[in-house]
Every structure is written in structure tokens, then in C-alpha cells.
A and B are shown apart, each in its own frame.
Chain A
Amino acid sequence: MIEVVDIHKRYLRKKVLSGVSFTAEKGQITCLIGINGAGKSTILKAIMGLIPLNSGSIRIDGEQTGKAVYEKAAFVADHLTMPLAMKLSEGFQFMEEFYESWDSERACELMQFFKLDPKERIGNLSKGNAAKYSLLLGLSQDTEYVLMDEPFSGIDMFSKELITEVFASELMGERGVLLTTHEIHDMEYLIDKAVLLQDGVVRKSFNCEDMRSSEGKSVTDVMREVYQP
């Protein structure tokens, strides 16, 4: 379980996160929802130890963020994180050399699934293909958690469909998925838990299925209540 407890983050005088707490369980898709600037990406970066926090704590299966966590949780950023001069296959080689959790077979399967050319340079990928390649790198690690920052941002309809297909497939297995989005429509039916953020504060956190069965509200309905009261 990813436990985020009372985290605070400030850039100079601007408060970005003010006491954010939530959990993301294994085997579930947890979605951080909020408009731009709500602090969604900051939370993911903090979980992966890419930015320091002012206070609060983050634990993954009880462990503090550190090098061991990088074999346990993969991060799919909203942009490329490999050198543009590398070929796609060289990116695989890099991952294989550094990560024990890297699964080459799965990487090849996903490569075929996304119809990517291993000889292509990373810098030549279109936005949609770059998103697929980033997702591929994240999913080819045999980790217990996958964190994704805006996986559907700015990509075409067919790429979205392909990525959604992956979400629903056995490739996700029993992993815990924590993702961010400001466009809930593409994945509303996929997510198990929603965490609504506004100005660095958690406004509401709920189990989507419970909400549907007990109050008959969709995630979008709850979002309207929270963001447009």
C-alpha cells in the first residue's frame, strides 16, 4: 500500500500541497483528480523521491522512498524520460542493465501491441507514440505499483483506446495503479478510488463503486459537487 500522510510542499512562498493524506492499495486503480495546478504531479514526484517535501511522510509497503522502492514502483511521467538520441531498443537495453525488475519479454510484447519500431530514435516519436513508449517502459518493469502522470494528456483517440485497453488487460495484474488526470471521462469506468484535489488539499476521497451503489453518483457527479458547489 502507498501511504501518503500529511504532506506539505511549498515553492518559495507558494503552498503547493497542504496536508495531503490518502492511500493507494495494491490491485486497485486510484486516481488523483484535479484541475491544473492542484498538486497532482507534485504528489507523484514526491512519492518517487524526485522532489523534497517540507513535511509529512510517504511509505510504500511500509518502506520510506529510497533506491529499493524503484524496483517496487514504476513511474510513467507525462513526458519522455530517456535520451532522445537513443533508439527505442537502446532504451530497453538501458532499462535491462539497471533494473532487476525489467521484463524483456513483456517489453517485446508491448512493443508489438503498440506497433512501435525498435530501430526508431526516441526523439523522432510523435506525442502519442512517446506516451506509448513511456507507458511501455513503466509496464515492462515487474513492479507492484505503477504511477502515471496524465497518461492520456494530448494524445489521439486511437492511442487513448490502446492505452485504455492495456489498463483493462492482465498486464496490470494485481498491481496498484496511481494515476493523475484532469480529464476523467476517458477512464471513469476503470478507476476504483478517486481522490479529488483542489489547491493542494484533498477535498474528497471515495471508493467509486461504493459511491455508485450507495448514493447513485458517478465520479463526474461528485466532481461537480466539489468543484462547482
Chain B
Amino acid sequence: MNRYLKLVHMEIYRFRYILGGLMALTAVFQISALVSTLLRELSRRELLGENASGSPLSFAWAVASTNFWFIIPMLICIAVIAMYVFWIWYRDWVGRSSFIYRLLMLPTSRRHIYLAKGTAILLFILSLLSFQMVLLLVENMIFNLIVPAELRVESFFAEIIQSNLALKVLVPQSFEQFFYAYGLGMLAVFVIFTAIMLERCYRGIGILYGILYVGACVLVVTSPVLFLGLDESIYYFYPGEILAIASALCGIVLVISLLLGFRLLGRKITV
């Protein structure tokens, strides 16, 4: 357990500059877009003399008005994390130094390496999400500093989240939705990890095994919706039952991915 936590720490340490860069990029894009939008709006109102008569400005309005510049850094973060799901493994094999030798020779269970990389990805996602939440508070403060008190109204946090297309998806309003969205995301990460293990163990033919494995997992996970949910002429199951079947299948795919990944890393891996 102790060594697992050390491995998680090491993975985070290795990604720290990229993570910091992504956070800085998000902050720069969003704050500069917010400031320029607010200044433009205030000067427009001043020119038209709408300051007293116009509707008050809210932070939710400001976020909605800068939708594009809010979404771009989020998409960049998602793309970088998606690429890093692969790179977190391949970086240890390629280049002048093969760190995988050292990792595999650590006097700890090899499953800790697998789990540590998965945990690190989850922590990167959650830390970027948390940073976005904190950034919204900072942006709200900036909004309050720029917009005079008589021209603004307060926004509720839920209202702010709903005003942005990406935030609406990334920060679901119910915990259940949050659990499903991020649970499915982590399931996808572990399925990809196991596909990478297949490729690393069997190399050339392993690419085919990996693709087939991912395809099979996608088919299994989506099968309740594809075969039981779309054709409304078949009413064998209630939606709640279909959801339960889908959840059970996700659980099975997760367990198989973890067990297969552990076995491949423990017994079949080739440096």
C-alpha cells in the first residue's frame, strides 16, 4: 500500500509541469476572455447611455457570453489527458531511458504500477475539475471588481454551471450523474490500459488484440441500450432494469480489465 502511494506520488510528480501548464492555460484563456468581454460590454453601455436603464449584468451572463473561450481550454485539457492515458505507459518504454525496467523490478506487486497510473489519471481529472471550480470563484471576484455594484446582480453557482455548455457536462448537478459520467470515464481508462498491456505483451499482433478487446468491451457495455433499450416494441424491461443490467456489465468489464491487466503485467510483459 505504501509503495502504491509512492508510485501515485511519482506519477503526479512526473506530470506536474503539464498539469500546471494546463491550469495556467485555462486561467489565462478564461480570465482574459472574461475581462475583455466585460470591458467591451461596459464601454458599449457607456456609449449608448444604458448604464442606468439597461438590465443588470450577472456573472452567469458573463460566462455564457464567453462560452467559446471557456470551452477551448477545457477541450485542450481533455485532449491532453486523453493522450496521456497512452503516454503514461509508452513514455516508460520509448527513448534513451527505459524506466519500465526499473518499474518492473520494484520490490512490490506489479499491479501497484497499473493501479498507480490509473489513480494518477483520475487525480489529474479531478484536480483539473477542482481547479476549474476555484477558478470560477476567482473569476466571480474579478467580475465583481470590474462591474460596478449598481450594474450587477448575483448569480447562483448552479446558474453559472448551467450557463456554460462544457461545465454543464463536466459538473453534473446530481451525484448520481457525476458517478456515472466519471465512472464510465475511468472504466474507459482501464479498458485502454489493458489494451496497451496486450500490445506491449504481444507487440505486432497485440495491436489487433488490443483493438478487438476495446471493441468487445464497448459492445458489452452498450449492449443493454443497443439490444434492449432502442427498440420500443420490446417492453421486457423497465428503464431502471436496463440501467441495472448496464451497470452490472460495466462492473464485469471493469473487473475483467483489471484482472487481465494485472496478469499481463505480472506474467507476460516484455521490456
Contacts and interface: CB of A to CB of B under 8 A. Distances in A.
A75 B107 CA distance: 13
Contacts of A195: none
Count class of interface residues, chain A: 20 to 34
A77 B98 CA distance: 10
A98 B106 contact: yes
A84 interface: yes
Q: Which of B3, B97, B268 has the most CB of A within 10 A?
A: B97
Interface stretch (A43-51, A109-117, A150-158): A43-51
A99 B3 CA distance: 10
A67 B109 contact: yes
A82 B267 contact: no
Contacts, number: 65
Contacts of B95: 84
A36 interface: no
A45 B3 CA distance: 23
Contacts of A49: 104-105
Interface string B1-17: 00100100010001000
A80 interface: yes
Nearest to B6: A97
B105 A83 contact: no
Interface residues of B, number: 23
B97 A80 contact: yes
A208 B97 CA distance: 35
A83 B99 contact: yes
A95 to B, nearest CB: 9
Contact of B97 (A45, A68, A82): A82
Nearest to B271: A50
A77 B101 contact: yes
Contact of B101 (A52, A71, A81): A81
B271 A45 contact: yes
A79 interface: yes
Interface in A130-166: none
Interface in A50-68: 50-52, 67-68
A71 B105 CA distance: 9
Contacts of A51: 270-271
A98 B96 contact: no
A41 to B, nearest CB: 10
A81 B271 CA distance: 11
Interface in B83-138: 95-99, 101-102, 104-110
Given A50-B269, A83-B99, 19 more contacts: A48-B104, A48-B105, A49-B104, A49-B105, A50-B105, A50-B270, A51-B271, A52-B267, A52-B269, A52-B270, A70-B105, A81-B98, A82-B99, A83-B97, A85-B14, A97-B6, A98-B6, A99-B107, A123-B97
Interface of B: 3, 6, 10, 14, 95-99, 101-102, 104-110, 267-271
Interface of A: 45, 48-52, 67-68, 70-71, 75, 77, 79-85, 94, 97-100, 122-123
